Chain A
Amino acid sequence: MAQQTPLYATHVAAGARMVDFAGWDMPVNYGSQIEEHHAVRRDAGMFDVSHMLALDLEGAGAKAFLRGLVANDVARLSEPGKALYSCMLNAQGGVIDDLIIYYLSDTSYRIVVNAGTADKDVAWMQARLAASGLVATLAVRRDLAMIAVQGPNARSKTWAALPGSEAASAGLKVFQAAAWGDVFIARTGYTGEDGFELTLPVDQAASTWAALVAAGVKPCGLGARDTLRLEAGMALYGNDMDDSVSPLDAGLAWTVDFKDESRDFVGKAALVANGASKQVLGLVLEDKGILRSHQQVFTAAGEGETTSGTFSPTLEKSIALARLPLGVAAGDAVEVDIRGKRLKARVVKPPFARNGKAMI
């Protein structure tokens, strides 16, 4: 039986269409997915992301442990609340998960991981921690719910819904968080829009959600979350990368930090040895149809594959992220096999849309 978030009853009462996502019973849409998408690009929408897992890592060895655990370098973080996006790799350089690490102090970090990989991640981290000999404890925070409020009016509507929160969060820069009482407010998201991700005790989730609805924030399902992140050119674990794909082949080289040559991290040797053999670019379908994941792409430089595809509500065209040969460049004409037909597509550099605007 699928797990339920603290907002399950709220979603059902709102008439959400519930589906299984990574073992969780989640709302895919409440009404029109396209309207939910536009609400986020144009105004403010929110997502229950309580299926994702928050972890708290604390102890004298926390910083050293994370520097060896993930491919990005937490030594970049020195400002309290600052966030870092990173991949956690296996020894072969494949992506175990992509995650966000918030710096609280050199001895205290909050980590947010994907739902579908949460158990695997915790087991991996605990095993690495035990083997490292470093002093730190990893706490699983299933006592916390998460609500992502996204859109150009997301911050102001959050402040209207949660009186007193503005003082704690108005000064946050992008990718920075602060505590406001029991609520952890992060100026982060997965939509290409401004907004907050709120992490809060589970017993406050339903009342906070209701206050946000009253402030004019539209409940949005995972369907809109997927089209928004794809338009924003953001990778989805399990689609765009997994434990058999290197971040260098998944368009995530920018998240791998080789600067400190003395730093070793799991997977580094494999990344250095193998380098990049593919690249990730965007596709816009020029013929009629819809791009989906795992469709074959034919280019002048060889074959590639779509990793995520959908209909873009902002562009009103079909778009995809594709893993393509290194010789392909933005502007190239390619073909995609859709149900046995080769349809024309154009290569573009993602993102497709961000901050309410088409980018291509």
Chain B
Amino acid sequence: MSNPTDLRYTASHEWIRVEADGTLTIGITDHAQEALGDVVFLELPEAGRVVAKEEAIAVIESVKAASDIYAPVAGEIIAANDAAVDAPESVNADAYAAWLFKIKPANAADVDTLLDAAGYEATLG
């Protein structure tokens, strides 16, 4: 699956959608779900938590292993996707539909530091 060009990315395999109101919706990339294998557990941050850029704020566990998910920018968590927690396999089914949490960035300009689709693909070698 190709990575949607309307999203931003991190080298640690998160995707970020910039919403019309400036908030960010975050998930993990298709490459990441493929590498993890069958996802069976998600631990997501609670709304209201203030997070730093690149802070490990969520955990995704596949049958094989546990991996951290990082905040792509500093800000405040405004929502977590309970539906994904209840159905972790939705991340494997469509990694770009199964969002994990939403952040209100502390500084809107921080989004410009994130990778675009071509930049992310370059990190995959």
**Residues of A near any B CB (own CB < 8 A):** 17, 28-29, 32-34, 223, 227, 288-290, 292, 310-311, 313, 318, 339
Residues of A within 8 A of B35 (CB): 17
By Cβ-Cβ distance, the 8 closest A-B pairs, closest first, are A311-B40, A290-B61, A34-B38, A311-B63, A33-B37, A290-B41, A33-B63, A33-B38
Shortest Cβ gap from A18 to chain B (Å): 12
Q: Could you say which of B37, B61, B64 has the most chain A C-beta atoms within 10 Å of its C-beta? A: B64
Find residues 51-68 in chain B having any chain A CB closer than 8 Å to their own CB.
Answer: 59, 61-66
- Does B43 have its Cβ within 8 Å of any Cβ on chain A? yes
Interface residues on chain B, size class: 10 to 19
Can you name the residue of chain B whose Cβ is closest to the Cβ of A341?
A: B43
Residues of B within 8 A of A17 (CB): 34-35, 37
Interface bits B13-24 vs A (CB < 8 Å: 1, else 0): 000000000000
Point out the residue from B34, B37, B92 that lies within 8 Å of A223, measured CB to CB.
B37
| Binary contact readout B100-119 vs A (1 if CB under 8 angstroms, 0 otherwise) | 00000000000000000000
Contact A29 B41 (CB under 8 A): no
Could you tell me the dominant secondary structure of chain A's interface residues?
A: mixed
Contacts of B41 in A (CB 8 A): 288-290, 311, 318
Chain A residues whose CB sits within 8 angstroms of the CB of B62 once the complex forms: 33
Q: Which of B40, B59, B63, B66 has the most CB of A within 10 A?
A: B63
- B34, B43, B92: which has the most chain A beta carbons within 10 Å? B43
Residues of B within 8 A of A339 (CB): 59
Candidates A33, A288, A313; contact of B64 at CB < 8 Å: A33
Whether the pair A227, B63 counts as a contact (CB closer than 8 A) is yes
Interchain Cβ contacts under 8 Å between A and B, 8 examples: A17-B35, A29-B37, A33-B38, A223-B37, A290-B61, A311-B41, A311-B61, A311-B63
Decide: A310 near B43, CB < 8 A? Known: A17-B37, A33-B37.
Answer: no
1/0 per residue, CB under 8 A from A, across B36-51: the answer is 0110110100000000
The closest CB in chain B to the CB of A34 belongs to: B38
